[in-house]
Amino acid sequence: MTSDPITTTYGHYNARSVDPRVVAEHFVAPPQFWEIVPESNTVLSGPRGSGKTTLLKMLEATALERWENLQAPRAREAVTYSGVFVPADRSWAGQVDSVYERFDPELRTALGLACFSLHMLRGLTACAAMRIVPSKAEHPHDRVSMERDLEERIVRETWENWGLNEPVGTFTGLRFALSDLLLDLGKCSLRARREPEAVAQLKCHAALDLKPVEAMIPFIERFNHAVGQEAHVWMFLVDEIEFLPPVIRSDILGLMRAHDPRIMQKCSLAPYTSISSEDESLGAWVGHDYQPVDLTFPDKEKGYDFNEELVRGVLARKCIDLTPEDLLGGRGEFESDRTEAYAPGTTNAAHIQSLAEKDRSFREWLCEHGLDAGAPGVSSETERAATLRKAMPIIRLRDEFLRVEDGVLRRRSRKQPRTYVGALSAYAICEGNPRLLIALVERLVRLHLSKELDDAHRADSIDSAAREYERHLRALAIPASLPLGLLPRNLVDRIGKHFEEQVLAAEFDPEPALSFEVDREDLTRLGLKDVLMQLVHYGAFVPISDQRFRLAHMFAPNFHLPLRRGRPHALRSILGPSGDSRQLSIDATEEESA
């Protein structure tokens, strides 16, 4: 078990194998936690690192017992069910897929379902065993008392129906026996792979007769009756179901269709699954059989409080006597919407004046809006002040990355300035994604400990994080059919450069295009669907709506972009007919880029 799950490397930390009690020790609840807690079927969706596994684990009794926070009593009261965590991950899915690849599709599906059913039953028995053990926690949660003979009776009345060979006497014994059954299924499967005559034997394996709901109900009924909680709900917390083969995923999700009110589930799902128009196993059920919960923060401001708490938590854990703003370099002016951020003498005021001196189109814009470059802060009319605030990130970026040469505005190559330093920028860049934010904070903490923490190093850290995030795109496994021009790294690069052109174009545009729209036809015709799904899952593309996306703000330092969503451009116009996009066979489009 990982002893300090927060000490992690950039980009990789998964709570999958962390003891729920350890998860609880470091847990900071995002606002969405309270949407997940109620006794209802839920599908959590969010990119990697958005905390899906952590949130599911926090619904286990042992985590709730350990959580020490002002909000903990509220959570303990709201979680009226028994949380049964069922892990699944890509390596397990790959295992099942590979072992069974030689079998016919029907058998493959049956075996995959049998495996998953056994894992669900293992989770159920582990939870049952936990519930009847008295807790030493200060706030016991979901514990019950059960006499030994009752436990024995329930187990006795269960084991045979679950295809187990030998009697067992306890819930824990039941779990071990299920492990043995899983191992036996594996052995039989491997034998059948090399000896075709063993396939018939495999088809008769007891595990293949298990139907998860049918198998659970008698157990749950007996347990609930024994402890006097007839209607008690057992909530299956199924992690990363996107890795399951579609048929199994559909079956698991089918559980939500109210087979029995005592069995419910909360699943975590990568966001791409809901983009796909063909994969509508969820689509028809929204709001009816399950509640979708999105773990992203399309409105970045809504994540700020959570982000601040997260940073505060890391600092406290590391015994560092700094506030989040101390660590991150103040609140930051790039994202500031305070009036005083434009007062004479401020950095913003200096940028406005400096840009006005070199950028004709900006001067005209100021004039058009009745703004004075020399005293922007004295603009008293609310509307005019708001106009300026809205345009400020563009003004700043143009001033920093444009220079006048022979009377013409030209791109300026320079080391990353301190544009993105500050708490609000850090929160926006990390998109409220705990994994990204914690990784950045840990970089800064190391600088603090080595007494090197200043704005220049903060800027460097943000820049390095952004470049590393972009480099990591190269490591994403892609579908074989994808044209080279659509490799994740190429796609992001082309989109990022297009937006950069909009920001630093010859004519000042206070609201340039910073997002893109993809029509359904392009998804399939250009083979974009797979790569789009993958980039949304990675977090590189952030969905704004079904067909509109923006680049993750983590790319902003690489392409000198503001932390805004901007106006949309059609993706086909961004990829355009020029350069290597010719291999995409995209026709010239009606919409020209600005």
**What is the identity of the amino acid at 162?**
W
Nearest distance, CB of residue 150 and other proteins, angstroms: 27
d(CA 585, CA 359): 38
Contacts of residue 571, Cβ cutoff 8 Å, sequence gap at least 6: 495, 516, 517, 518, 522, 528
Among 77, 148, 165, 183, binds other proteins (CB under 8 A): 183
The region, left, alpha or beta by phi > 0 then psi within -120 to 50, assigned to residue 406 is: left
Helix axes 347-358, 360-368, angle to 10 degrees: 110
d(CA 509, CA 321): 43
Q: Compare residues 90 and 497 and give the one whose CB is closer to other proteins.
A: 90
Q: Compare residues 108 and 498 and give the one whose CB is closer to other proteins.
A: 108
Task: State the binding string over 135-164 for other proteins (x if CB under 8 A, else -).
Answer: ------------------------------
Nearest distance, CB of residue 176 and other proteins, angstroms: 10
Do residues 307 and 297 touch, judged by C-beta distance below 8 A? no
Q: Which stretch binds other proteins (CB under 8 A): 66-74, 84-92, 105-113, 506-514?
A: 84-92
Among 1, 70, 204, 284, binds other proteins (CB under 8 A): 1
**What is the identity of the amino acid at 296?**
T
Do residues 60 and 128 touch, judged by C-beta distance below 8 A? no
119 binds other proteins (CB under 8 A): yes
Residue 155's nearest CA partner among 219, 227, 111, 64 is 219
d(CA 59, CA 80): 10
Among 31, 161, 167, 190, binds other proteins (CB under 8 A): 190
Nearest distance, CB of residue 80 and other proteins, angstroms: 25
97 binds other proteins (CB under 8 A): yes
Q: Which stretch binds other proteins (CB under 8 A): 180-188, 253-261, 333-341, 406-414?
A: 180-188
**CB neighbour class for 353 (10 Å; exposed up to 12, middle 13-18, buried from 19):** middle
Question: Beta strand 513-517 with 548-551: parallel, antiparallel or unpaired?
Answer: antiparallel
Q: Compare residues 443 and 564 and give the one whose CB is closer to other proteins.
A: 443
Q: What is the helix (H) or strand (E) element at residue 408, kind and residue range?
A: strand 408-411
8 binds other proteins (CB under 8 A): yes
Q: Measure CA of the first residue to CA of the last residue in the chain; give whole Å.
A: 53
98 binds other proteins (CB under 8 A): yes
Among 31, 38, 94, 374, binds other proteins (CB under 8 A): 94
Q: Compare residues 38 and 479 and give the one whose CB is closer to other proteins.
A: 479
Nearest distance, CB of residue 242 and other proteins, angstroms: 13
Q: Which stretch binds other proteins (CB under 8 A): 27-35, 91-99, 106-114, 519-527?
A: 91-99
Q: What are phi and psi of 42, to 5 degrees?
A: -140, 145
Q: Which stretch binds other proteins (CB under 8 A): 87-95, 289-297, 309-317, 398-406?
A: 87-95
Tokens of 234: 């057992």
Do residues 554 and 426 touch, judged by C-beta distance below 8 A? no
Among 146, 182, 206, 505, binds other proteins (CB under 8 A): 182
Do residues 33 and 51 touch, judged by C-beta distance below 8 A? no
Residues 21-40 that bind other proteins (CB under 8 A): none
Residues 441-500 that bind other proteins (CB under 8 A): 468, 471-472, 474-480, 482, 484, 487
Q: Compare residues 176 and 317 and give the one whose CB is closer to other proteins.
A: 176
d(CA 388, CA 171): 66
Tokens of 490: 């190429």
Q: What are phi and psi of 549, to 5 degrees?
A: -135, 160
186 binds other proteins (CB under 8 A): yes
166 binds other proteins (CB under 8 A): no
**CB neighbour class for 65 (10 Å; exposed up to 12, middle 13-18, buried from 19):** buried
Task: State the binding string over 406-445 for other proteins (x if CB under 8 A, else -).
Answer: ----------------------------------------
Nearest distance, CB of residue 377 and other proteins, angstroms: 42
Among 9, 380, 413, 450, binds other proteins (CB under 8 A): 9
CB atoms within 10 A of CB 218: 14
Nearest distance, CB of residue 73 and other proteins, angstroms: 28
Residue 175's nearest CA partner among 144, 209, 129, 212 is 129
Q: Which stretch binds other proteins (CB under 8 A): 138-146, 187-195, 363-371, 398-406?
A: 187-195
Nearest distance, CB of residue 30 and other proteins, angstroms: 21
Q: Compare residues 476 and 544 and give the one whose CB is closer to other proteins.
A: 476
Q: Which stretch binds other proteins (CB under 8 A): 88-96, 286-294, 364-372, 410-418?
A: 88-96
d(CA 88, CA 106): 22
d(CA 562, CA 354): 18
Q: Which stretch binds other proteins (CB under 8 A): 188-196, 372-380, 414-422, 508-516?
A: 188-196
d(CA 400, CA 419): 9
d(CA 499, CA 569): 9
Residues 374-403 that bind other proteins (CB under 8 A): none
Question: How many chain residues touch other proteins (CB under 8 A)?
Answer: 50
179 binds other proteins (CB under 8 A): yes
Tokens of 103: 């079998």
Residues within the interface to other proteins (CB under 8 A): 1-2, 7-12, 14, 16-17, 85, 87-92, 94-95, 97-102, 119, 122, 179, 182-183, 186-187, 189-190, 193-194, 468, 471-472, 474-480, 482, 484, 487
